[in-house]
Amino acid sequence: MNEESFVRQLAASLPQGPDVTVGPGDDCAVLDFGFDELVLAAADQVVEDVHYLASKSSPADVARKLLNRNVSDIASMGGRPTHALVTIALMPVDEKWLSSFHDGLKNEASSYGISIIGGDIASSGKPGHFCSLSILGRVSRKALCLRCNARPGDLLFGTGSFGGSFASGRHINFTPRLAEAQFLAGRFTHAMIDVSDGLLKDSCRMAEASGLALELDLGKIPCASGVSIEAALSDGEDYELLFAVPPSVAEELKNLWPFKDLPLSQFGRFIEGPRGSVSGCDGLPLKIGKSGFDHFHE
Amino acid sequence: MNEESFVRQLAASLPQGPDVTVGPGDDCAVLDFGFDELVLAAADQVVEDVHYLASKSSPADVARKLLNRNVSDIASMGGRPTHALVTIALMPVDEKWLSSFHDGLKNEASSYGISIIGGDIASSGKPGHFCSLSILGRVSRKALCLRCNARPGDLLFGTGSFGGSFASGRHINFTPRLAEAQFLAGRFTHAMIDVSDGLLKDSCRMAEASGLALELDLGKIPCASGVSIEAALSDGEDYELLFAVPPSVAEELKNLWPFKDLPLSQFGRFIEGPRGSVSGCDGLPLKIGKSGFDHFHE
């Protein structure tokens, strides 16, 4: 069993109350507290020398990445972020490091209107920095996007370009597609995911969750500058959006797309077929799960 | 500047939106989403060889401690826990360890009716386990307890006995005082804290937050078996409750206390005086901040 299957199996047996509309397994959990909007919740972490190199990233970079990974998860559900809690384990408890981290976090959170409502700082007992952040958000009921909502015939669209995120430093200095997701959600799509583990893996997750197969049109996938199609498919941490668009609104979407600096591309189609299978990659030395990012990311 | 002052200063400048009734600095943040009850949120972590010894604690023990530290924070606000998110960084990504952790977490969460709604598992890049948990809860507006709510003349009460938590293993296998806190909150107290960093330190925090001084009556502090008064005052991780009781209801509380197996003691009094100062410890080799647990714990 691979790590993803193992963790999915564990998650499936966790207790869920009646107010949990969506539990573990999508980019966020969805809670129904009985008011107009739904509440979104997610948690993610950033570990030194796993998610960034200390030699190349400032503490403020680390804080921004930690927050923005989570904001990207809120975005892909169609929501907006509201509150966050942060824990840090580090040794030594270095005031200079913490001050820089704090400034990065504060500035980035302020730009979104996110309240940083609490957390914990502890010794890690050994050298290294381990940061975790939980985020809360809101989404209107009609804008909620789930990875399981793709329908047969829906077209697979994506924002931006793919691959080379680590080499280019984009995995640290990315901008979550929050405004774009809010434009899309409810109007052009109800099925969205952010690309944390690679275009191929994350688009497969949509197909699998939706009980469908996926046809990719490799020739239409926008590769980042200098990046091969293999890397565009399997590199992690693009933090772009993938989403399923009904054919009836695809032309309207292309005409109305207001983000002139960000490419919008259609490069696949969800179809009836073996659940989670992908066609169109024939001849490429790829298999799902090959991605360098096989950590589990709910 | 000590770590607590430093972190408090950082926290004070974090952005807070209008729905944040209480931000960082109490056991939980308090959010007002506009419905009958308030929402509570907190985050805490458990780090191998800092908060437990891997040689003495099973992964299920670690999961229980991680959850119960957070449940204790919800309890001390007068609330009940509802949802949690968990992140784990570990190396190797050991399925046996994760399965045992998962079982401990699932069973403990189920016993409280807590939904485990998401999280993340990642490589820690180096040996060791780093676990973080964020918890959500609910509290009625009239039961909400804050550490800043002690009033001059209020009596300081505590549950249970104090000290020796590490030697006895109680720091792992404790029961958060959830039922006790719900009995107390709103009826006998509006000012409560859980003892994570030692009786002296945490009672001082209440006094300081309330703008008051504290008189301790050392002779009445219940020490755990075999524990000195110094250790009872300064050891961490008792996870008992400290709370301020108006004299007008103190007798009623003693008469009605329904938890026959858990001592209830009165051993101090909040008074007008230098903010956060403590009297009654004269002659003991103690100073506030001496505690072995000087990590910051919101």
Q: For the segment A217-236, what is each residue's pLDDT rounded down to a tens digit?
A: 999 999 999 999 999 999 99
Q: Which of A79-83, A171-175, A252-256, B122-126 has the lowest mean pLDDT?
A: B122-126
Nearest to A90 by CA among B207, B128, B223, B134: B128
Is the pLDDT reported for residue B232 higher than 60? yes
Decide: A24 and A296 in contact? Cβ < 8 Å: no
CB contact A55 to B (< 8 Å) = no
Phi, psi of A85 (to 5 degrees): -125, 140
CB contact B24 to A (< 8 Å) = yes
Decide: A52 and A62 in contact? Cβ < 8 Å: yes
Decide: B202 and B289 in contact? Cβ < 8 Å: no
CB contact B34 to A (< 8 Å) = yes
CA distance A70 to A114: 11
Residue of A nearest to B106 (CA): A14
Of the residues B16, B85, B107, the best mutation for testing chain A's interface (the one with the most A CB atoms within 10 Å of its CB) is B85
Phi, psi of B26 (to 5 degrees): -105, -175
Is the pLDDT reported for residue A83 higher than 50? yes
In chain B, the percentage of residues whose pLDDT exceeds 90 is 86
Please indicate whether, in this complex, the C-beta atoms of B118 and A51 are within 8 angstroms of each other: no
In the block, which residue shows the tokens 């990642």?
B122
The Cα of A118 is separated from the nearest Cα of chain B by a number of Å equal to 4
Phi, psi of B266 (to 5 degrees): -115, 120
**Interval B177-230: pLDDT, tens:** 999 999 999 999 999 999 999 999 999 999 999 999 999 999 999 999 999 999
- pLDDT at site B149: 98
CA distance B77 to B203: 15
C-alpha of A262 from chain center = 17
* Mean of pLDDT values over B71-93: 96
CA distance A115 to A110: 8
**Interval B31-63: pLDDT, tens:** 999 999 999 999 999 999 889 999 999 999 999
- pLDDT at site A293: 36
Q: In what order do the strands lie in the sheet with A29-31?
A: A20-22, A29-31, A37-47, A128-140, A80-91, A115-123, B296-297
CA distance B62 to B45: 10
- pLDDT at site A28: 98
Is the pLDDT reported for residue A176 higher than 50? yes
Is the pLDDT reported for residue A161 higher than 70? yes
List chain A residues with CB under 8 Å of B82.
17, 19
What is the average pLDDT value for chain B, to the nearest integer?
93
**Interval A53-75: pLDDT, tens:** 999 999 999 999 999 999 999 99
CA distance A148 to A275: 12
Which of B15, B95, B298 minimises the CB distance to A114? B15
ipTM of the complex: 0.93
CA distance B239 to A87: 20
CA distance B139 to B172: 26
Is the pLDDT reported for residue A44 higher than 90? yes
Is the pLDDT reported for residue A120 higher than 60? yes
CB contact B41 to A (< 8 Å) = yes
List chain B residues with CB under 8 Å of A44.
87, 120
Decide: B249 and B215 in contact? Cβ < 8 Å: no
In chain B, the percentage of residues whose pLDDT exceeds 70 is 95
Nearest to A52 by CA among A166, A132, A188, A149: A166
List chain B residues with CB under 8 Å of A69.
none
- Indicate the length of chain A as a whole number: 298
- pLDDT at site B295: 35
- pLDDT at site B2: 77
CB contact B9 to A (< 8 Å) = no
The Cα of B203 is separated from the nearest Cα of chain A by a number of Å equal to 19
CA distance A67 to A59: 12
- pLDDT at site A152: 98
CA distance A64 to A174: 9
- pLDDT at site A290: 41
Both tokens assigned to A37: 């909007």
Is the pLDDT reported for residue A172 higher than 70? yes
Residue of A nearest to B138 (CA): A33
CA distance A132 to A140: 27
- Choose between B54 and B142: higher pLDDT: B142
CB contact B23 to A (< 8 Å) = yes
What is the average pLDDT value for chain A, to the nearest integer?
93
Is the pLDDT reported for residue B291 higher than 70? no
In chain A, the percentage of residues whose pLDDT exceeds 90 is 86
* Mean of pLDDT values over A168-189: 97
- pLDDT at site B294: 38
**CB < 8 Å from A in window 73-132 of B:** 82-83, 85-87, 89, 93, 95, 98-99, 102, 105-106, 109-110, 113-126, 128, 130, 132
Of the residues B1, B2, B14, the best mutation for testing chain A's interface (the one with the most A CB atoms within 10 Å of its CB) is B14
Q: What is the pTM of this model?
A: 0.94
- Choose between A8 and B20: higher pLDDT: B20
Which of A1, A119, A125 minimises the CB distance to B49? A125
Please indicate whether, in this complex, the C-beta atoms of A117 and B29 are within 8 angstroms of each other: yes
Helix (H, G, I), strand (E, B) or coil at A41: strand
Is the pLDDT reported for residue A261 higher than 70? yes
Q: In what order do the strands lie in the sheet with A241-245?
A: A191-194, A241-245, A155-159, A264-271, A213-216, A278-279
